[in-house]
Amino acid sequence: MPEDVDVVVVGAGIAGLSAARELVSAGFSVAVLEARDRVGGRTESREFAGATFDVGGQWIGPAQKRMQSLVKELDIETFPTYHSGESVVVVDGKRSTYRGDIPKLNPFTLLALQNAASGTNRLAKRVDVAHPERTPKAAKLDAQTLATWRKRNIPSKAGQAILDAGLRVVFGADPSELSMLWALYYISQSNTVDELIGIEGCAQESRFVNGAQTVSVKLAEQLGDRVKLSSPVRSISQTEESVTVSTDTGEWKAKRVIVALAPTMTAGITHSPDLPSARAQLVQRMPMGATTKCLAIYDRAFWREAGLSGEAVMTTGPLAVAFDNTSADGSVPALLGFSVGSLARDLAKLSADDRRTAVLDALASCFGPKARNPIEYHEKNWQEDPWSKGCPTGNFGPGTLLQFADALSEPVGRVHWAGTETAQEFCGFMEGAVESAERAVAEVSAALKSEKVA
C-alpha cells in the first residue's frame, strides 16, 4: 500500500527542504524523497584536517535576502571570506599582483575589459527575466554564443582570456557553450557581473562556519522522518485525482508533487502520462556546468604571510580562479582552486597523481613554490556525482532560453517544478533555490485550497 501524503517533494537540497518546511508550517502532510544518503544536494561539507570544508556551494552574499533570513532563523554562523592583501593575475604564465578591484594589466586590455563588463551590465539591465522574449533584440542575443559576443566586444586576447576565466567559474561552462541571452539573463538575476564575481558586498562575501550543508541538515532536522534518504524516484504517475511516486523501496500517493531537481536530473524519472513535448525537450537542453573543486590544505597560510589575499585569476588551465579557503577560526589554512568547463574536462583525463600535480603547479604559479607542498589535497569532480552530474548550475546554450523559459516552471498536471534553475532572482545560487521553493509552494497551496473548496 502506498503511503498517503498531501505533497511529495522530490529532492532534499535547499529547494526541496525549504519547500517541505513551508508546506508543513501551512499544515500539509509531506514526504521528501532523496536519492542520496545525505541531504544538501549541491552543498556538501566534509571534515578534512580537523576542520569543516565545503566541496560544493559555499558562499552567501548580502543581496541574497531569502538565504540571509533563513540562515538567521536557523541560527547558522557565517564569516567573511578572507581577501586582505594583494591578488594575483596570471596571463599566459606572466604573473602580476594588484590591490583592490583593478588588476595590473596592459591599459588597453584593462580598458577593453572594463568596457565589456559595463556593456554586459547595461545589456543585462534590459533583460526581462519574467518574459525573456520581451528583452530588446532577444532573438539576436539568443542566436549567438557568449564567445561570439565577447570576441566582437573585446579586441584584446588577454582581455578575452581573463573574462573567460571569471565567467567560466560563474557558469561552470566555457563562453562557447552559452547563449549570450542566457548569460545576460543569469547576470541580470544577480544584478551585475561585479556582484557575481566579487567578494565584499558581493556573492562571495561570506562563508558558513560549519559548512553550507548545515542549512540543509538543520532544515531536515525540523522535518524529521518526513525525509527519506536513499530513495531515488523512478516514476511519477498521475490520474485526475492523485499522483503516485515510486522509488525502489516504496510508493507514495499525493495530491501534488514538487520536483526540486535541476531539469537534467529529472531525465531519469518515467512519467505517466508522457511529458508534454516542451517539458520533454527542456530536460535534454539544460546541461549542468562542469566544476571540479580542488582544495589544498597547508600547515601555514604562507600566502597571507607574503601579503597575498589568496585570490587569483589564471588564463590557462587547469584552474581558472583561486581563493583563500582557510577554516573559519584560521586554524587550518587552505587554498581553493576551481577547474571549470573545458578545463575541468581536460583535468579529468589525467591520473589522480597528475591532477594533483597540475593543480598544485597552478597554485604555485600564483602563490609561490610552497603551494606545492600541502598537508592534504582533496578534489570533488561534480560531473561524476550521479545525483548532480555537474555544478554549479544547469545552463542554456543558444536557441533555447526563448523557447523553454516557460517550461522551466510550468506545472504538468499535479507536478510542480522547483530548483534554483527555475528562479527569477539569483538562479544558480542557494538564494534561487529558496525562491523557487516559495513559488512552487504558492502554486501547490493555491491548488490544494481550491480543491478543498471544490
**What is the rounded CA–CA span in Å between residue 244 and residue 235?**
8
Which of these segments, 80-88, 214-222, 270-278, 433-441, binds its own copies (CB under 8 A)? 270-278
Binding-site member from 39, 55, 275, 340 for its own copies (CB under 8 A): 275
Q: Which of 256, 356, 389, 416 binds its own copies (CB under 8 A)?
A: 389
- Asked if 81 and 206 count as a contact pair (C-beta separation under 8 A), the reply is yes
Q: Which is nearer to its own copies, 211 or 263 (CB)?
A: 263
292: Cβ–Cβ under 8 A, 6 or more apart, which residues?
A: 338, 339, 340, 344, 347, 348, 379, 380, 381, 382, 383
Asked whether the beta carbons of 98 and 90 are under 8 A apart, the reply is no
Residue among 144 and 210 whose Cβ is closer to its own copies = 144
Helices (H), 126-179: 138-142, 146-153, 157-171
The sign of the dihedral angle between the CA atoms of 274, 279, 285, 290 is negative
- In whole angstroms, the minimum distance from the beta carbon of 284 to its own copies comes to 4
Task: Based on the shown chain and the rule CB under 8 A, indicate whether residue 232 belongs to the binding site for its own copies.
Answer: yes
Taking residues 308 to 347 in sequence order and writing x for each that binds its own copies by CB under 8 A, - otherwise, the string is: ----------------------------------x-xx--
Where does this chain touch its own copies (CB under 8 A) — which range of 22-30, 84-92, 171-179, 328-336? 171-179
Distance between CA atoms of residues 42 and 265, nearest Å? 12
What type of residue is 8? V
Is the Cβ–Cβ distance between 362 and 350 less than 8 Å? no
Q: Does 413 bind its own copies (CB under 8 A)?
A: no
Give Cβ neighbours of residue 391 (< 8 Å, ≥ 6 apart). Answer: 42, 56, 57, 172, 288, 289, 290, 291, 293, 382
Q: Which is nearer to its own copies, 209 or 278 (CB)?
A: 278
Q: Does 270 sit near its own copies (CB under 8 A)?
A: yes
Beta strands at 78-80 and 206-208: parallel, antiparallel or unpaired = antiparallel
Query: Of residues 81, 145, 192, 339, which one binds its own copies by CB under 8 A?
Result: 145
Cell numbers of 45, please? 561539507
Of the ranges 15-23, 202-210, 253-261, 380-388, which one interacts with its own copies (CB under 8 A)?
380-388
Q: Which is nearer to its own copies, 349 or 452 (CB)?
A: 349
Q: Does 148 bind its own copies (CB under 8 A)?
A: yes
Cβ atoms of 89 and 98 within 8 Å: the answer is yes
Q: Does 281 bind its own copies (CB under 8 A)?
A: yes
Binding map of its own copies across residues 172-211, x = CB under 8 A, - = no contact:
-xxxxxx---------------------------------
Grid cell 547576470 is found at: 187
Locate the DSSP E strands across 161-250: 206-208, 227-228, 233-238, 243-247
Q: How far is the CB of 389 from its own copies (least distance, A)?
A: 5
* Residue 155 in contact with its own copies, rule: CB under 8 A: no
Residue 41 engages its own copies in binding (rule: CB under 8 A): no
Determine, following the binding rule CB under 8 A, whether residue 392 of this chain makes contact with its own copies: no
- Give the sign of the dihedral formed by CA 249, CA 255, CA 258, CA 263: positive
Q: Is 135 in the site for its own copies (CB under 8 A)?
A: no
- Which span (70-78, 114-122, 135-143, 320-328) binds its own copies, by CB under 8 A? 135-143
Residues numbered 95 to 124 that lie near its own copies (CB under 8 A) are none
Residue with smaller CB distance to its own copies, 41 or 398: 398
CB proximity list for 43: less than 8 A, separation 6 or greater: 13, 14, 54, 56, 57, 58, 211, 212, 213, 215, 216, 430
Give whichever of 36 and 304 is closer to its own copies, judged by the CB atom: 36
Using an 8 Å Cβ cutoff, are 342 and 174 in contact?
A: yes
Cβ burial, residue 244 (10 Å; 0-12/13-18/19+): middle
List beta partners, residue 291: 340
Q: Buried b vs exposed e over 190-210: b needs ≥16 C-beta within 10 Å?
A: bbbbbbbbbbeebbbbbbbeb
- Contact window for its own copies (CB under 8 A) among 46-54, 71-79, 266-274, 320-328: 266-274
Is 143 or 364 the residue whose CB approaches its own copies more closely? Answer: 143
Instruction: Considering the complex, state which of residue 68 and residue 144 has its C-beta at the smaller distance from its own copies.
Output: 144
How many residues lie near its own copies (CB under 8 A)? 53
Ranges within 70-99 binding its own copies (CB under 8 A): none
List residues near its own copies by CB under 8 A. 139, 142-145, 147-148, 151, 173-178, 232, 234, 264, 267-271, 274-278, 280-281, 283-288, 290, 342, 344-345, 348-349, 381, 383-386, 389-390, 397-400, 403
